[in-house]
Structure 1
């Protein structure tokens, strides 16, 4: 591989580094991080301003489309050195070709960085992130991200735009599907697990990819649940609810951050010095790089806080943005901004350095092609063990919402089984939103999973009933007749994948189309009905919850959805998942979440002048943390090792959980705390811990939780972080509403170091 200049060789020699683009090493060796700064600084010293701005520019290839097309000449820009990273380009051959063109045609031959939305698997799709979060299984969440990283890296990818760690409490917002739900604590620990899975233990290993914490910040609280819309929250709410998962991401070593589309306190987040410099860099000491979301720099002109693209670029770079995704504004306008003194070249140098350091840590200066290995990809993609992992994660993500008369699990020897609904044979929608490179055509549908699970003597009857969307009821008659012939009906309904995710906000959260009417007609037959729901967000199923005997929330589970659903339907796996987001009774209750404030007039059914609705209960249809099992669990009272603590002590809480049913099972035991009196009002409950335990039938497990002063800390009236003396309630139970409770006292007020 020849270079257009000997300058890069000079940099390498001066730095004393054994690095050469021409070499492809069989042995993976870590880059010398002690020499990283010297190497990167030396390289920056010989770069022109235009070359530096190229490193700050991220363009999409035409391999995949994930937003508005703004540049069709990305290959030409690569060859001119005007682009340092490419996204939506994958496959070992394609990334190899792009990298080769870049190295041969640019003056310095700085390797390209390839990124993509590897959100819940690559070829082997796993459940959507919201579904995975319902497993509350940090080990498996990490494993799922690890598999995704191994597959993606084999196709030349260095970077994923995941995990999305926005707290989301409004299911009208379609991107609730991409996150971990409504809780700060759970969202933070899941963020850490996913980041560790993507990035592994060492970035230089060629089966790891850079993770990206997104969307920074508060994107999940868009007004009216409408994507890209305005956010207007207090600074206290920002710090208490929406920033903690991002701080957790930094603690986990996340390599990159992505800015969000929304504005916050009147400033688009892409131009917020408060978020990007004051908090992220100065307070939290983040040392990776910040990329914008798709064209969000140019969108500042639409927000109305800048007059044109040039000013938007100046505001973004000066606020702390390092890389411009897709708009090309840095390339187009920053040279003039530097000439005018509106942007300092030292600021550009800092951004370039942070980006080049990541390329260095990945080993790309050592071997730019180390990720683009077609032979490795062929051996890696959709390996049998990866499909097994997808199935395992999928069944762990299924929430049993209702099981009247213990209809489930079904008997594999049932004589006649009717399987009805628009999703029975569906493959495309099983993989859900943001499935990226996922091979949906290799998905295993529900019907196939059921056929492989039941006895050869079982007669399986099928009727589609209706389509996802539209008002065609012509299939109802066949569906009703099919149900009437069966002993049991499995009714498979839900959302198509495109009705959740980005740009998929909805004001009506019922089952779409005529599916609600189909459900009612099948229930009218009087047959035992199991409703299997596939969807990317909580749906308003008030009628179904009251009238359908058994309901499984299966979400969009990925390529192994069919077998995983069959595992649960027929009892090969006892469901253990619990909701990480509240199910409202109707859209009018939204936003509704478990840890709201109490108000000065809390609910009282006998008093009109209380905080309540005239036409609906305050309570959700299904609360946060809710999920049933085929067995039953009995909780003892809570015992504390002491009833008061100082700021230098912990309290230990013990509880015994007994499996009183007829199946072995896993239970997610949840611990909540309420601060009864604070200098500012406090939530009615806050999750502070959980344990997922396997308990054989008839046996008991004693669990111990440790409550630390850090668990009691919050942003006090003056916005200092710390604890305040007083009384606290402690709850342990099977969900946020069904709990045992006790009380303890904190004896002192004190500052606490933020975690």
Structure 2
């Protein structure tokens, strides 16, 4: 290859080189909880929900299904020469291993929670499922991201310079990455937007060379987060170097192998800067060749140059199958966490005759799928699931309220007059329309995997007098004009979902000129104009509740108000992150009104992060954490309410009583954060989750009461299902090193999800050795130290508060003699 050809191969959209028999390959593919952004696919629960299963076997099997669907999607649009396009390749930019250190972070939903051990084990299982176990070929390639020390705030992610202590780096921020490299054998790593200790993550030799390659033995390739390579030199970002060629040289010379450019900010993959860097002497061509070798080894191990593809049993139709959707439902059921069940309201003792299903998430597609998702062909909302589970009941539905404002509804056909739509084969409404036609509504079902845009013009007739709010439900940008006034402009960066709305006062019966513009990248379902009417005050939901035997209030958040660099104009939110952990105020007010009817209420929370539902914990008898439960999520919620299975999900994060209990969001020090370093009382602790049956623990014991620092110990406990229903229990092992400077309050070092029939007993064993016996001292050294080690084995942590009993469990201990320092 020429230098110019080499440079082109170092960007995420690598062009074909026909003379060398090299097909085009696009490295950018998303697979956080299913194949994302490639049209119809099986959508599993969001990552935080899958972590709530505490089930490594289920996680590996799920990732195996996802990798099958990636292969199918690749075959569906494979180029004749074997090439692939955007979101149609086999290199998967997942899992997200960042530690969810602060619940205010909008992208925490993408993670496996706040604990390094749980994250490492769940992440490794996901990677093994994605990459497969063939000795020669990768089924797909997984990517551990974002390396490293990255968890908000979103508003400053391109400029943030983080200075973690050596203790926190070794104790919190790196262990999960290390596990997925040393145990999971992950083949790809994604470097971060931010800087660490003054050096951009993608140019950070300490992280990428000293830790990743030398200490951990990583053999794969490192890809930049999208736009992160440009952050190295951008004046409005980290500005680590003065020029672009110097910036890309710093990246490649210090461990980065592949640049993902960011179309959202107009950034290229910098091939011209790579060439300029080599010619100016900033970057050696040998370094370029080293990166190319890593990248082509990956493509070869995917079988992309073989005359016959590996995994030949997979066809282009092997996605969104009934079997895969059944797996999604099982994962959703396993992820449900029963937070509260006063008076055993759940499961329902008999089928209610009248059920009111209300709240912003009751019939919401958005809250099924979270972010980074595919399109389920048969999405089942909570409302759908309850209707299916109780076909003979009278089901009353009223949204009552929106996520952060009044209830929204599609603008009906009857409100429009003389509507026309122009379609464009680009995102900017440029050039001659590809089609112009009359329309009955401002809505569209986007098709294909390319960028497209549309403009609707006509007249709108107001049915009421008062303030209206408008937005366009889409995955990308939109603008709405009413009466020639720009009511809302969310053309945006073009990737993050949005819920931004604009308001205008209209008069009943009056006609107004209306213009709606929107664009879309990829096929992601039907989009349409929404409005909030002046009369939307929640009275319909209260009236429905008053008629019901039981009320299901489906509330919480959605990935349209918590997520990645987004516009949210509401109290408690900022740029995709949150400033408050409370249930959004409009929902809280409606929940209180519904409760005042005197009818029993079940609060179903759908969200990707912790909520401080203190009022609900005091007043609402039953609370279910459903996360963003995937395409089959409504069936899983309905089955839990009916008692078709006993819930066994456990929290992978702490639910605090208030954000005021936490250090500043932009402070990356771990003291006062997560269950390991927070000393206060919490609403629901990490590891918490109730069941419909009862488990008891006994005969906790260790194989040796004293071990050497280089030895091991086996912890055993007898677990009995002493309740009246078969069910799963998540047995959790916590280790504490009392009196050791730098050691956490306690730390998870083992877990197993077991199924027990009623009356059965099982002995569960955990082997502790090496790093599981260690703690990190204040100087950042991981050590095994002489002294007593306290153990707790139970269905949660040994903590309680008024109104929340301590989880069942048993304690034991042993002693270590001698000292041992462990490597990085």
- What TM-score, normalized to structure 2? 0.74
- Displacement of 1:295 in angstroms is 1.1
State whether residues 129 and 179 of structure 1, in contact with CA within 8 Å, keep that contact through their aligned partners in structure 2.
yes
- Displacement of 1:681 in angstroms is 2.0
Report the CA distance shift for 1:593/1:441 in structure 2 as closer, same or farther (over 3 A).
Answer: farther
State whether residues 468 and 513 of structure 1, in contact with CA within 8 Å, keep that contact through their aligned partners in structure 2.
no
Partner of 2:168: 237
- Displacement of 1:244 in angstroms is 1.2
Q: Does 2:642 correspond to 1:570?
A: yes
Give the aligned length: 641
State whether residues 713 and 769 of structure 2, in contact with CA within 8 Å, keep that contact through their aligned partners in structure 1.
yes
Which of the pair is proportionally richer in helix? Answer: 1
Partner of 2:523: none
1:239-290 superposed Cα distances (whole Å, 9 cap, x missing partner): 2211111111112111111001111111110111111112212222211111
- Displacement of 1:227 in angstroms is 4.7
Report the CA distance shift for 1:719/1:687 in structure 2 as closer, same or farther (over 3 A).
Answer: same
Moved more, 555-564 or 713-722: 713-722
- Displacement of 1:651 in angstroms is 2.5
Taking the aligned partners of 1:553 and 1:642, their CA distance within structure 2 comes to 40
Moved more, 472-481 or 417-426: 472-481
2:602 to 514, 530, 539: 530
Report the CA distance shift for 1:482/1:715 in structure 2 as closer, same or farther (over 3 A).
Answer: closer
1:732 to 761, 786, 793: 793
Partner of 1:56: 10
- Displacement of 1:224 in angstroms is 9.0
Taking the aligned partners of 2:600 and 2:335, their CA distance within structure 1 comes to 24
Q: Does 2:676 correspond to 1:596?
A: yes
Report the CA distance shift for 1:243/1:200 in structure 2 as closer, same or farther (over 3 A).
Answer: same
Taking the aligned partners of 2:101 and 2:782, their CA distance within structure 1 comes to 24
Partner of 1:91: none
Partner of 2:34: 121
Q: Does 2:619 correspond to 1:547?
A: yes
- Displacement of 1:677 in angstroms is 3.1
Partner of 1:355: 295
State whether residues 651 and 689 of structure 2, in contact with CA within 8 Å, keep that contact through their aligned partners in structure 1.
yes
Taking the TM superposition and a 5 Å limit, the aligned residue runs for 1:298-377 are 298-300=230-232, 301=234, 302-326=237-261, 327-328=267-268, 330-367=270-307, 376-377=315-316
Report the CA distance shift for 1:522/1:55 in structure 2 as closer, same or farther (over 3 A).
Answer: same
Q: Does 2:735 correspond to 1:673?
A: yes
Matched position secondary structure for 2:692: coil
Taking the aligned partners of 1:115 and 1:235, their CA distance within structure 2 comes to 33
Report the CA distance shift for 1:708/1:484 in structure 2 as closer, same or farther (over 3 A).
Answer: same
Taking the TM superposition and a 5 Å limit, the aligned residue runs for 1:130-529 are 130-156=48-74, 157-202=89-134, 208-220=139-151, 222=152, 227-228=157-158, 229-251=160-182, 252-300=184-232, 301=234, 302-326=237-261, 327-328=267-268, 330-367=270-307, 376-377=315-316, 379-435=317-373, 438-440=374-376, 442-454=378-390, 456=392, 458-471=393-406, 474-503=536-565, 504-512=576-584, 514-529=586-601
Report the CA distance shift for 1:720/1:464 in structure 2 as closer, same or farther (over 3 A).
Answer: closer
State whether residues 320 and 376 of structure 2, in contact with CA within 8 Å, keep that contact through their aligned partners in structure 1.
no
Taking the aligned partners of 2:616 and 2:282, their CA distance within structure 1 comes to 60
Matched position secondary structure for 1:688: strand
Taking the aligned partners of 2:765 and 2:585, their CA distance within structure 1 comes to 48
Matched position secondary structure for 1:147: helix
Taking the aligned partners of 1:440 and 1:232, their CA distance within structure 2 comes to 41
- Displacement of 1:508 in angstroms is 2.4
Which of the pair is proportionally richer in strand? Answer: 2
- Displacement of 1:303 in angstroms is 1.1
Matched position secondary structure for 1:376: coil
Taking the aligned partners of 1:372 and 1:155, their CA distance within structure 2 comes to 14
Matched position secondary structure for 1:730: strand
- Displacement of 1:368 in angstroms is 8.9
Taking the aligned partners of 1:250 and 1:648, their CA distance within structure 2 comes to 23
Taking the aligned partners of 1:629 and 1:52, their CA distance within structure 2 comes to 57
Taking the aligned partners of 2:395 and 2:610, their CA distance within structure 1 comes to 30
Report the CA distance shift for 1:640/1:328 in structure 2 as closer, same or farther (over 3 A).
Answer: same
Moved more, 400-409 or 269-278: 269-278
Q: Structure 1 regions of 5+ residues with no counterpart?
A: 1-46, 60-82, 85-101, 604-617
Partner of 1:700: 761
Partner of 1:741: 811
1:497-536 superposed Cα distances (whole Å, 9 cap, x missing partner): 2223322212123233511111111111121111111111
Query: CA-atom RMSD, angstroms?
Result: 2.4
1:322-362 superposed Cα distances (whole Å, 9 cap, x missing partner): 11111446411222322232211111111110001111111
Taking the aligned partners of 1:731 and 1:720, their CA distance within structure 2 comes to 25
- Displacement of 1:223 in angstroms is 5.7
- Displacement of 1:540 in angstroms is 1.8
Report the CA distance shift for 1:414/1:223 in structure 2 as closer, same or farther (over 3 A).
Answer: closer
2:707 to 645, 657, 673: 645
Moved more, 173-182 or 304-313: 304-313
Taking the aligned partners of 1:643 and 1:240, their CA distance within structure 2 comes to 26
Structure 1 runs of 4+ aligned residues shifted over 6 Å read: 368-373
Matched position secondary structure for 1:165: coil
1:696-752 superposed Cα distances (whole Å, 9 cap, x missing partner): 223333323333243212344665443111111111122123453233210111234
State whether residues 223 and 231 of structure 1, in contact with CA within 8 Å, keep that contact through their aligned partners in structure 2.
no
Matched position secondary structure for 1:143: helix
Taking the aligned partners of 1:215 and 1:184, their CA distance within structure 2 comes to 14
Partner of 1:635: 697
Taking the aligned partners of 1:227 and 1:203, their CA distance within structure 2 comes to 39
- Displacement of 1:143 in angstroms is 1.5
Partner of 1:579: 651
State whether residues 170 and 781 of structure 2, in contact with CA within 8 Å, keep that contact through their aligned partners in structure 1.
no
Q: Structure 2 regions of 5+ residues with no counterpart?
A: 36-40, 75-88, 262-266, 408-534, 566-575, 664-671, 800-805
Report the CA distance shift for 1:553/1:751 in structure 2 as closer, same or farther (over 3 A).
Answer: same
State whether residues 230 and 247 of structure 2, in contact with CA within 8 Å, keep that contact through their aligned partners in structure 1.
yes
Partner of 1:608: none
- Displacement of 1:597 in angstroms is 4.2
- What TM-score, normalized to structure 1? 0.81
Partner of 1:750: 820
Matched position secondary structure for 1:116: coil
Matched position secondary structure for 2:577: coil
- Displacement of 1:177 in angstroms is 0.4
Taking the aligned partners of 1:137 and 1:183, their CA distance within structure 2 comes to 15
Taking the aligned partners of 2:339 and 2:155, their CA distance within structure 1 comes to 25
Report the CA distance shift for 1:109/1:649 in structure 2 as closer, same or farther (over 3 A).
Answer: closer
State whether residues 574 and 630 of structure 1, in contact with CA within 8 Å, keep that contact through their aligned partners in structure 2.
yes
State whether residues 367 and 607 of structure 2, in contact with CA within 8 Å, keep that contact through their aligned partners in structure 1.
no
Taking the aligned partners of 1:690 and 1:708, their CA distance within structure 2 comes to 15
1:298-336 superposed Cα distances (whole Å, 9 cap, x missing partner): 112321321121221121111111111114464112223
Moved more, 514-523 or 293-302: 293-302
